Structures are given as C-alpha cells and as structure tokens.
C-alpha cells in the first residue's frame, strides 16, 4: 500500500526570503534532459515522463529556474506525483485552434489506497444557504465530491443573519466561548453546527457591536475587508481551540486568503504543524485591499515585515495591504478555476496587479475547471422543472419551453429562446448582452434575461430596458435573483449567452450544456476551456457543443449568435445533434474532485 513519503515535522516556510528564490524542490514535470544544461531554454521537445504519465510540452522559450537542475527535473518526473496539468508553467499549449491547455497532467495516479483525508473548507459562501455567485456552488459541489470519495469534510462559514435556515438541519450550539483576538482585545463568538444537505457545517457568530454578519446581506459594507479578516482569524482559532488538525484547509478568494497567513505566522509556532493550505481564487478582480489598520486589528504587528512586497504589500498601491496576495504568498498551493484563466491571469495581463506575485510563486499555481453538481443540476431528476428529460428523451425539453413561455408570458411561436443568467456585472459583457437582446429580436428569436446587480446604476439601466421592451411578446427581463426560475430557464431555453469580458470559469455554460441549451460564448477563460465551436474547432464533431466568438465587439457576438440562430432554423437536425453533444459533455465534479485530491496529496507530502 502506498502511503507517500513521511510527513515533515514542520510545514515548509511559506514565505520566500526574496522574490527570486525558487522553491527548494522543483515541481515542474515537463522535462528536457536531452541536453542536460539547465540554462538552455526548454525547447518543449524532448520530454521524459514517468511511466504512465501524460506530459505536455513545455512552452518554447521557457527558461529553467536558476536552481532547477536536470537531476531535479528527473526527480520530479520520477516521483510522478505532481499534478503537472495544474501547473501553468507547463500548461501553455502550442498555439492551436483550441486550447486544451494541454493540460499536461497527470501523471498523478489515482491512489486506490489513498488514506482518507480530513479536509476543512473555510468559505464566505455556500449554496444554497449563502449564495452570491458561483463560489457558493463550487464549495457545495466540491465538498460532496470529496466526501463521497471517502474523505471527512467540514465547512466553516460565518453565521449570517440571512442564511437560508430552511436548508440547515439540526442546527445547534457546539462551542460557546470562542474568544477571537481582535485589536488589543478579543471578540466573543459562539460556534454552531448543522447539516446542509448532508454537508457538515460550522457557523461562527461573533458577539460585538460591529455586528459583522448580522446586516441582512453578505457583502456591500465599507468594512468588508475587516469583516472577513476577522472571520478568517475566527475560523482558524476555532480549529485550534477545538483540537482539530485537518490535513487540508481549503480556502476561497480574498475573503479567506488570510487563513494561511495566520496559520503560518501564529498557529504553526503554537504547534499546529499538520495542515496544508490550498487557496482557490474564483476571480482576481477582487483582492481585498486595506490600509495598515489591518495589522493592528489582526495582530499581524511588525509593519516592516508584513508591509513588504514579498508578503502582503499591494503591488500597485504602496499604502495598501492585499489579502489575496498574502494568500498567494503563504498558501501551499493556489488554484484558479480553469487552466486558460490561470494563464491569462499570470501571463496575459489579467491579474489585476498580481502578475509578478504569480510569477514568483508559479510552481504552486494552476487551474482546475469547476464541476457542476449533477444532483442539483440534472434535467433527468430536476424536480424544479415541470417535465424531466434526458439525452434519450429530449422532447421533454419542449414542454419546459412551453412552461417557461407561459410563466414569463411570452408568445408561443416557432422561435428559439436565447437566455442570459448571471450577475449584471461589467465582467459579464453587459454591452454585448444588451446588443444581443435587440439582435435576437430582429432575427426571429425570443430573449429571456435573469440577473441582478448590487450596483444601483446598472440595475436602473436594465429596468429602463425592461420598460422599453415591456410590450414585446418575445422578450422578458427578470431583474432579481431567483434560483427556481433559473432551473426553468436552463431547461426551457434553446441557447445560453455568455459574452463575458473575462470569465474565470463560468458555471452557466456548464449547467446549460447539461440541459441541452446551446452555449454561445466568448473564447475567454473557462469558457474557452469548455465550449467548442460547432463550425470552427479542431475537436472531433461529437465533442463540439456550442458557438464561440473571439472579439469583444458586436460583430464578434453576431458571428456566433447569428450562426446559432441560422442553424436552429435551417438545419434543425444539426442543432439537435449539437444538443445531444452538449448533454453528453461531462462536467461533473468527478474529474475536478480527483484533481483537487491530487493537489492535496502533493502538498501534504511537502
Ligand atoms: N439572478 C440570478 N438568479 C438565479 N441564479 C443566478 C442569478 N445570477 C447568477 N445565478 C447563478 O449563479 C451562478 C453563477 O455562476 P458564475 O460562473 O457566473 O459565477 P460568478 O461570476 O458569480 O463567480 C465566479 O466564480 C465562479 C465559480 O468559480 C466562476 O465560475 C466564475 O467564472 C467567477 O466569475 C450560476 O449557477 C447561475 O445560474
């Protein structure tokens, strides 16, 4: 039975002493040993792989790290334990029509005898009890996948006053007097436990005049960064006080990015040497910037040390600390939610200032495409739609289309329904969404939109649009958040539009695929990794599942949406084949669950 190398007694020092310091142990697995010269640019040609490994080619021109030696490369390959596919250093493909991002990986064999892990997810959101965006769905789906693979999974959340308590079972107090250090004193907290669809969840409730989580909504307050800096501290203080020593702490986004900082600065010296931290970044646009007050609040004194560019100091604003940057520096592994986005962020200017930090830490950085929870999002068993259907009984979809029209008072005609579901955020390509509404209506289609924004100006714009189109029998804009309605739209629409400016992964296209609703997407981030154009793709025909455009402009959008509408009318049998391809695409948590376990194994051994 393989148990892996012995655990080191202390976690590796997470902070490099200077920006150029390479890791002690190289983790690249794309290997060029033909020449044996570490200074020679890696050509991406001659690769030596461990048996059974599937490695991609190293991007041409990538230079070896100063401390990497051929022997190191061989060693890394021989261990065969590295999730190379997850490392962007080896994830850039040759320019190709489609980025499989070549995702060279994994060599990391499935471990039939992998010991079960104790994994704690620390998160600001989880569906369905506290959901603002896709992060909530990811925590919900990944937790279950890890649990059904035999691991013990617990989740720690803030006890918001607006949690969906109807989804929490057996909620009860489990830790009454948790005192969490804050400024020069401590805040008294109570910890509750409850089951959310069988997931084991702890909820932290602070009692202080700040009323951190009793404000009626999850985000949108001037002290948001302090609120989550506090939550992160409270979560790890709880683990410590409760004597929990998870193998892995998995945190999410800037809100919980301080967890590894606290772990290595405060709790490891106290003896909490066991856990390793994986940080998943769902969106680099939000990083949690704050001034020096954070240091006093959180107990991270020593401004010279923390206000340092190698630790928490923001790369762009010299007076700001950056929580997400701290997470990248201190976590044992950092993922983002698709390989393409991982590359875009690190190398193509989409890192919102974090590019140099990601370069410094590239050896512990990579992308894993999100999964979809097919227990929740599956037309064969979905009780929130009137008629269940599947790839072998696809006609049921048309009953849902009728039901959707009925619910939204749309005309019952021969037209296809194009839908958009999402946060009304500039990220989502709102100019193109707006244009698509008119384009669809002019081209014999119907349009349905479900979305909302915390920004009142954006909401007002869409309300204006809604009033303008109010009399159209072919258009309905629903401004608000409505999960029930979203199920019916996924089931009843023919096409799902995702014209994002940038998209770390995107869940709407993945859910749409499952419901046989053809995605029309822009080729960015996770959209490019998951949707393959019907007419212009290097993929085999049976893997093509949607329409893709490149340029963020009206012409680009029309090139894809126009083809989708034309196919619907002129080649209905082709459109139906495309629907079947879409429904057969597997974007369950199966593969990403395995990827995360590989990452966990990888960091546990270091
Ligand atoms: N008004 C509404 N009513 C009902 N349901 C609604 C809704 N608006 C959105 N939803 C639902 O919320 C989810 C949003 O998923 P996205 O991938 O768009 O996430 P988001 O951009 O928030 O998050 C970030 O994190 C996720 C997860 O990692 C990444 O996929 C994404 O690219 C990144 O921007 C979908 O399941 C959608 O159906």
* pLDDT reported for residue 151: 97
Distance of CA 14 to the CA centre of its chain: 23
Are 320 and 405 in a shared domain?
no
* pLDDT reported for residue 249: 98
Domain holding 556, by residue range, is 396-587
Q: How many CA atoms lie within 13 A of 389 on its CB side?
A: 25
| Residue pair 522/536 in contact by the 8 Å Cβ criterion | no
Residue 498 CA, closest ligand 1 atom number: 18
Of the candidates 277, 308, 331, which is a domain's last residue? 331
Cα of 536 to ligand 1 centre, how many Å? 27
Mean per-residue pLDDT for 64-71? 36
Determine if ligand 1 sits within 6 Å of the CB of residue 507: yes
Beta strands in 234-287 (DSSP E): 248-252, 276-281
Determine if ligand 1 sits within 6 Å of the CB of residue 14: no
Return mean pLDDT, the chain: 85
Mean per-residue pLDDT for 207-212? 96
Query: In sequence order, what are the residues at sequence separation of 6 or more whose Cβ sits closer than 8 angstroms to the Cβ of residue 243?
Result: none
* pLDDT reported for residue 76: 39
Percentage of the residues of the chain whose pLDDT score is greater than 70: 81
Strand-pair partners of 366: 335
Determine if ligand 1 sits within 6 Å of the CB of residue 345: no
Phi, psi for 529 (deg, rounded to 5)? -80, -15
17 domain-assigned:
no
The whole-model pTM stands at: 0.83
pLDDT at 24 over 80: no
Cβ count within 10 A of residue 267: 17
For 50, the token pair is: 């461990």
Residue 450 CA, closest ligand 1 atom number: 1
Give how many domains the chain has, as a whole number.
2
325 domain-assigned:
yes
Determine if ligand 1 sits within 6 Å of the CB of residue 120: no
Are 490 and 571 in a shared domain?
yes
| Residue pair 495/564 in contact by the 8 Å Cβ criterion | yes
Are 581 and 508 in a shared domain?
yes
339 domain-assigned:
no
Residue owning tokens 């068993």:
381
Beta strands in 159-303 (DSSP E): 168-182, 185-196, 199-207, 248-252, 276-281, 289-290
pLDDT at 102 over 80: no
Residue 504 CA, closest ligand 1 atom number: 32
Cα of 509 to ligand 1 centre, how many Å? 10
* pLDDT reported for residue 605: 72
Determine if ligand 1 sits within 6 Å of the CB of residue 287: no
pLDDT at 27 over 50: no
The SS3 assignment for 452 reads strand
Determine if ligand 1 sits within 6 Å of the CB of residue 367: no
CATH code where residue 480 lies: 3.40.50.2000
Is the ipTM beyond the 0.90 threshold? Answer: yes
Determine if ligand 1 sits within 6 Å of the CB of residue 400: no
Are 319 and 439 in a shared domain?
no
For 494, the token pair is: 């023919």
pLDDT, tens digit (0-9, with 9 covering 90-100), for 137-176: 999 999 999 999 999 999 999 999 999 999 999 999 999 9
Of the candidates 221, 229, 211, the one whose C-alpha atom is nearest the C-alpha of residue 299 is 229
99 domain-assigned:
no
Are 454 and 564 in a shared domain?
yes
Cα 293 from Cα 301, distance rounded (Å): 10
* pLDDT reported for residue 115: 81
pLDDT, tens digit (0-9, with 9 covering 90-100), for 305-354: 999 999 999 999 999 999 999 999 999 999 999 999 999 999 999 999 99
Are 417 and 492 in a shared domain?
yes
Are 424 and 323 in a shared domain?
no
379 domain-assigned:
no
Confidence of residue 9 (pLDDT cuts 50, 70, 90): very low
Cα 335 from Cα 162, distance rounded (Å): 29
Are 188 and 306 in a shared domain?
yes
Determine if ligand 1 sits within 6 Å of the CB of residue 239: no
Confidence of residue 454 (pLDDT cuts 50, 70, 90): confident
Confidence of residue 49 (pLDDT cuts 50, 70, 90): very low
Among 350, 422, 427, 500, which residue has the most ligand 1 atoms within 8 Å of its CB, making it the best to mutate?
A: 422
Are 307 and 412 in a shared domain?
no
Cα of 556 to ligand 1 centre, how many Å? 23
| Residue pair 578/545 in contact by the 8 Å Cβ criterion | yes
Are 404 and 553 in a shared domain?
yes
Determine if ligand 1 sits within 6 Å of the CB of residue 421: yes
Residue by residue, DSSP assigns 384-437 as TSSS--BTTBTTHHHHHHHHHHHHHT---SSPPEEEEEEE--GGG-HHHHHHHH
| Residue pair 296/289 in contact by the 8 Å Cβ criterion | no
Cα of 242 to ligand 1 centre, how many Å? 34
Determine if ligand 1 sits within 6 Å of the CB of residue 152: no
Determine if ligand 1 sits within 6 Å of the CB of residue 370: yes
For 203, the token pair is: 């909820």
pLDDT, tens digit (0-9, with 9 covering 90-100), for 213-264: 999 999 999 999 999 999 999 999 999 999 999 999 999 999 999 999 999 9
pLDDT, tens digit (0-9, with 9 covering 90-100), for 469-501: 999 999 999 999 999 999 999 999 999 999 999
* pLDDT reported for residue 110: 54
| Residue pair 321/292 in contact by the 8 Å Cβ criterion | yes
* pLDDT reported for residue 111: 54
For 29, the token pair is: 């697995």
Residue 526 CA, closest ligand 1 atom number: 32
Distance of CA 431 to the CA centre of its chain: 24
* pLDDT reported for residue 568: 98
DSSP 361: T
Residue 428 CA, closest ligand 1 atom number: 21
384 domain-assigned:
no
pLDDT at 58 over 90: no
Cα of 547 to ligand 1 centre, how many Å? 20
Cα of 138 to ligand 1 centre, how many Å? 10
Are 454 and 539 in a shared domain?
yes
For 589, the token pair is: 């948590």
Question: Which string of b and e fits 285-318 if b means at least 16 CB within 10 Å?
Answer: ebbbbbeeebbebbebeeeeebbebbbbbbbeee
> Known binding site for ADP-alpha-D-glucose: residues?
131
Strand order in the sheet with 118-122: 168-182, 185-196, 199-207, 152-158, 118-122, 248-252, 276-281, 333-336, 365-367
Are 424 and 325 in a shared domain?
no
C-alpha to C-alpha distances, 574 to 286, 393, 518, 541, nearest whole angstrom: 41, 17, 12, 11
For 309, the token pair is: 């560019």
Cα 209 from Cα 520, distance rounded (Å): 48
Cα of 137 to ligand 1 centre, how many Å? 8
67 domain-assigned:
no
Q: Whose CA is nearest to atom 9 of ligand 1?
A: 422
Strand order in the sheet with 475-479: 475-479, 446-452, 417-423, 495-498, 518-522, 547-549
List Cβ<8 Å contacts ≥24 apart for 15-21. Answer: 15/264, 15/310, 15/311, 15/329, 15/330, 16/310, 16/329, 16/360, 17/310, 18/310, 19/309, 19/310, 19/356, 19/360, 20/66, 20/360
* pLDDT reported for residue 583: 98
Cα 581 from Cα 470, distance rounded (Å): 35
Determine if ligand 1 sits within 6 Å of the CB of residue 486: yes
Among 133, 135, 336, 484, which residue has the most ligand 1 atoms within 8 Å of its CB, making it the best to mutate?
A: 133
Q: What does the longest C-alpha to C-alpha distance in the chain come to?
A: 71
| Residue pair 502/350 in contact by the 8 Å Cβ criterion | yes
Query: In sequence order, what are the residues at sequence separation of 6 or more whose Cβ sits closer than 8 angstroms to the Cβ of residue 518?
Result: 494, 495, 496, 512, 545, 546, 547, 564, 575, 578, 579, 582
Of the candidates 286, 265, 261, 11, the one whose C-alpha atom is nearest the C-alpha of residue 124 is 286
571 domain-assigned:
yes
* pLDDT reported for residue 112: 56
pLDDT, tens digit (0-9, with 9 covering 90-100), for 351-408: 999 999 999 999 999 999 999 999 999 999 999 999 999 999 999 999 999 999 999 9
Q: Whose CA is nearest to atom 27 of ligand 1?
A: 134
């Amino acid at each position: 039975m393989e148990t892996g190398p012995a655990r080191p007694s202390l976690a590796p020092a997470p902070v490099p002493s200077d920006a150029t310091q390479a890791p002690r142990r190289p983790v690249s697995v794309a290997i060029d040993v033909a020449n044996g010269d570490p200074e020679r640019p890696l050509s991406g040609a001659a690769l030596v792989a461990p048996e059974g490994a599937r490695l991609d080619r190293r991007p041409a021109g990538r230079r070896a790290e100063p401390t990497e030696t051929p022997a190191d490369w061989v060693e890394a390959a021989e261990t065969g334990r590295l999730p190379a596919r997850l490392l962007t250093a080896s994830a850039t493909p040759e320019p190709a029509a489609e980025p499989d991002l070549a995702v060279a990986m994994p060599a990391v064999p499935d471990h039939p005898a992998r010991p079960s892990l104790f994994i704690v997810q620390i998160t600001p959101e989880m569906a369905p009890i506290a959901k603002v965006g896709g992060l909530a769905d990811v925590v919900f789906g990944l937790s279950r996948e890890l649990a059904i693979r035999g691991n013990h999974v617990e989740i720690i959340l803030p006890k918001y006053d607006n949690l969906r308590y109807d989804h929490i079972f057996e909620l009860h107090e489990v830790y009454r007097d948790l005192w969490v250090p804050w400024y020069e004193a401590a805040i008294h907290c109570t910890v509750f436990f409850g089951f959310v669809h069988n997931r084991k969840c702890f909820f932290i409730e602070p009692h202080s005049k700040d009323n951190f989580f009793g404000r009626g909504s999850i985000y949108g307050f001037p002290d948001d960064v302090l609120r989550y800096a506090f939550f992160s501290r409270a979560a790890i203080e709880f683990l410590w006080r409760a004597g929990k020593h998870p193998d892995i702490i998995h945190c999410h986004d800037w809100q919980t990015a301080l967890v590894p900082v606290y772990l290595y600065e405060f709790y490891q010296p106290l003896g909490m040497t066991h856990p390793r931290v994986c940080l998943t970044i769902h969106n680099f646009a939000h990083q949690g910037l704050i001034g020096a007050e954070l240091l006093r609040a959180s107990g991270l004194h020593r401004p010279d040390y923390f206000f340092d560019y190698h630790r928490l100091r923001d790369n762009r604003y010299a007076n700001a600390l950056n929580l997400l940057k701290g997470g990248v520096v201190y976590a044992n592994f950092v993922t983002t939610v698709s390989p393409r986005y991982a590359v875009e962020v690190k190398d193509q200017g989409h890192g919102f200032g974090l590019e140099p930090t990601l370069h410094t830490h590239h050896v512990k950085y990579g992308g894993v495409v999100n999964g979809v929870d097919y227990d929740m999002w599956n037309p064969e068993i979905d009780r929130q739609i009137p008629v269940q259907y599947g790839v072998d009984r696809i006609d049921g979809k048309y009953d849902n289309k009728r039901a959707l029209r009925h619910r939204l008072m749309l005309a019952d005609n021969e037209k296809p329904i194009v839908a958009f579901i999402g946060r009304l955020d500039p990220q989502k390509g709102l100019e193109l969404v707006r244009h698509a509404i008119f384009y669809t209506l002019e081209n014999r289609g119907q349009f349905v939109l479900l979305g909302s924004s915390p920004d009142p100006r954006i909401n007002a714009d869409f309300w204006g649009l809604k009033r303008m189109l109010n009399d159209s029998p072919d258009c309905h804009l629903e401004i608000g958040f409505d999960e029930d309605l979203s199920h019916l739209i996924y089931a009843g629409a023919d096409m799902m539009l995702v014209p994002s400016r940038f998209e770390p992964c995107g869940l709407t296209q993945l859910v749409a695929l499952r419901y046989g609703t053809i995605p029309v997407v822009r080729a960015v981030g996770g959209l490019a990794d998951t949707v393959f154009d019907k007419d212009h793709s290097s993929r085999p025909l049976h893997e093509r599942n949607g329409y893709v455009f490149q340029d963020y402009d009206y012409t680009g959008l029309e090139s894809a949406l126009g083809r989708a509408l034309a196919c619907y009318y002129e080649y209905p049998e082709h459109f139906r084949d495309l629907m079947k391809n879409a429904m057969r695409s597997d974007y369950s948590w199966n593969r990403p669950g395995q990827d995360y376990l590989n990452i966990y194994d990888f960091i546990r051994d270091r």
